[in-house]
Amino acid sequence: MNQTNFAKKLKQLKEQHRRLLTRKNRPQKSGNGIFDRYENPVLTAEHTPLTWRYDFDRVSNPHLMTRLGVNSVFNVGAMEFGGKIVLMARVEGWDRKSFFAVAESKNGVDNFQFWDYPVRMPELEAAETRTAGFTGFFAPNATMTKSRATSPPPLRAVALRVRRTCSNGSAWPI
């Protein structure tokens, strides 16, 4: 690909990405009056930054091919942070390996943009982790990690109990 075609394709990729990130998301007309469904998903694989997916160097990537294929964005957790809505998402590549990334929006409905870098989680030694599996239920296994504190925290830690529902309808705590 010559330099002109490379620049043209790069400009087209950037424009297409910009349109996706700035697209307004409207509620669907048919609703139940309790909650609204929207025309478009708020976060998809195409929302991932182009710098994650492409090498823009014409020498090392002369055909502007994808270097990191993103298969899916899912298992999103949402919260309000700094006056914006942030989503912590699991991002899965074409190789089925996953990482976590954060995307934010002013209104929580559209215009979500990923932060510049994925989440960096500290590596824990084997002695610092504890894995507990829950079996006998129609639920995924849970993995818990705990880091050894070098000094006691200044405030008393608060533990949250998350309740899941078993396949027979009864609740069990994690």
Query: What are the boundaries of each domain within the chain?
Result: 3-114, 122-174
Tell if the pTM clears 0.75, that is, is over it. no
Q: Please report, for residues 37, 77, 103, 131, 134, the alpha-carbon distance to residue 48 in angstroms, rounded to integers and kept in the order given.
A: 23, 17, 9, 31, 34
How do residues 53-100 score in pLDDT, each as one tens digit? Answer: 999 999 999 999 999 999 999 999 999 999 999 999 999 999 999 999
How do residues 16-35 score in pLDDT, each as one tens digit? Answer: 999 999 999 999 988 888 88
